[in-house]
């Protein structure tokens, strides 16, 4: 199934960063890849980024559709998956990658920032898995990979909402893995450490150096480092692996 000639791959948040690297690494001839993306603050920039992802995926010989859809909206998500299922009738791989931060210390954190981060980073994954699992269980095959974070395991001051969402995603991963394993569906998480993307580009020099000082390999990770782990978890080589959290952090977490 996972390495066969034709497969349908769905990636959330595929326009930039880690999501784009995941899309390109999973792209091969015979793959039909759907990704979504969303940015209320910079729709034009996000659309241009999505076009670049589409180009990179097409260059690798796969079919691709980038779709503007907000993972926090159940209507958008349902329409996105309807499109996938109308087109191919199956889902072989689902990667829940879309994620945001809205950082502040606990005592200053607003309810709206808590809710938004939870909706995008955690509730959306619950909803996408609920849709995809139905199809995958009928197929008796499928791979789901959730992009968590090292901080979901070790915590991080100033990120109560984000950390709670990622810790929740890890618990959700393990629970869904247990539920769907009898039907041949494997569910795992990848927990990146400090990866160079737009999300981390906003960090101050001081914050960046503090992070780097905690990385035994002494350098930040690249989106491709995370994508390689996702590719492995979607391959035949990982067919006895489920409910796991694979840390891609340069040794930051051991």
Ligand X SMILES: NC(=O)c1ccc[n+]([C@@H]2O[C@H](COP(=O)([O-])OP(=O)(O)OC[C@H]3O[C@@H](n4cnc5c(N)ncnc54)[C@H](O)[C@@H]3O)[C@@H](O)[C@H]2O)c1
- Give dist(CA 23, CA 95) in Å, integer: 9
Q: With beta carbons less than 8 A apart as the criterion, state whether 159 and 137 touch.
A: no
Closest by alpha carbon to 101, among 198, 229, 222, 217? 198
- Give dist(CA 233, CA 251) in Å, integer: 19
The distance of closest approach from Cβ of residue 4 to ligand X in the complex, given in angstroms and rounded to an integer, is: 27
Which residues contact ligand X (rule: CB under 6 A)? 12-19, 36-39, 46, 70-72, 97-100, 120, 147, 149, 192, 194-195, 197-200
Please give the structure tokens belonging to residue 8.
Answer: 């349908």
Q: With beta carbons less than 8 A apart as the criterion, state whether 16 and 198 touch.
A: yes
Catalytic status, residue 37: no
**CA distances (Å), origin 225, targets 76, 222, 233:** 30, 5, 13
The distance of closest approach from Cβ of residue 8 to ligand X in the complex, given in angstroms and rounded to an integer, is: 19
**CA distances (Å), origin 34, targets 77, 85, 94, 234:** 12, 11, 10, 16
Please give the structure tokens belonging to residue 235.
Answer: 């391959």
Q: What is the DSSP letter of 159?
A: B
141 versus 195: smaller Cβ distance to ligand X: 195
Distance of CA 30 to the CA centre of its chain: 22
The distance of closest approach from Cβ of residue 222 to ligand X in the complex, given in angstroms and rounded to an integer, is: 10
75 versus 198: smaller Cβ distance to ligand X: 198
Find the catalytic residue in 162, 166, 191, 192. 162
41 versus 107: smaller Cβ distance to ligand X: 41
Estimate the crossing angle of helix 223-233 against helix 17-26, to 10 degrees: 40
The distance of closest approach from Cβ of residue 68 to ligand X in the complex, given in angstroms and rounded to an integer, is: 9
The distance of closest approach from Cβ of residue 223 to ligand X in the complex, given in angstroms and rounded to an integer, is: 6
Catalytically annotated residues: 162
């Amino acid at each position: 199934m996972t390495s066969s000639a034709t497969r349908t791959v769905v990636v959330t948040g595929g326009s930039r960063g880690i999501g784009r690297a995941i899309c390109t690494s999973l792209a091969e001839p015979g793959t039909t890849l759907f990704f979504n993306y969303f940015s209320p603050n910079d729709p034009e920039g996000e659309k241009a980024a999505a076009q670049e992802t589409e180009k990179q995926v097409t260059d690798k010989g796969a079919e691709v559709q980038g779709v503007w859809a907000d993972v926090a909206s159940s209507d958008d998500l349902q329409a996105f998956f309807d499109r996938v299922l109308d087109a191919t009738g199956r889902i072989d791989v689902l990667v829940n990658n879309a994620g945001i931060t809205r950082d502040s210390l606990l005592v200053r954190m607003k309810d709206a920032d808590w809710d938004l981060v939870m909706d995008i980073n955690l509730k959306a994954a619950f909803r996408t898995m609920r849709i995809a699992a139905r199809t995958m269980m009928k197929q008796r095959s499928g791979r789901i990979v959730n992009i968590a974070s090292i901080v979901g395991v070790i915590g991080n001051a100033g990120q109560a909402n984000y950390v709670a969402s990622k810790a929740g995603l890890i618990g959700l991963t393990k629970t869904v893995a247990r539920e769907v394993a009898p039907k041949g569906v494997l569910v795992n998480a990848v927990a990146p450490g400090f990866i160079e993307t737009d999300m981390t580009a906003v960090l101050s020099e001081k914050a960046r150096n503090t992070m780097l000082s905690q990385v035994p390999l002494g350098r930040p990770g690249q989106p491709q480092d995370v994508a390689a782990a996702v590719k492995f978890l979607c391959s035949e080589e990982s067919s006895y692996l489920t409910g796991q959290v694979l840390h891609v952090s340069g040794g930051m977490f051991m």
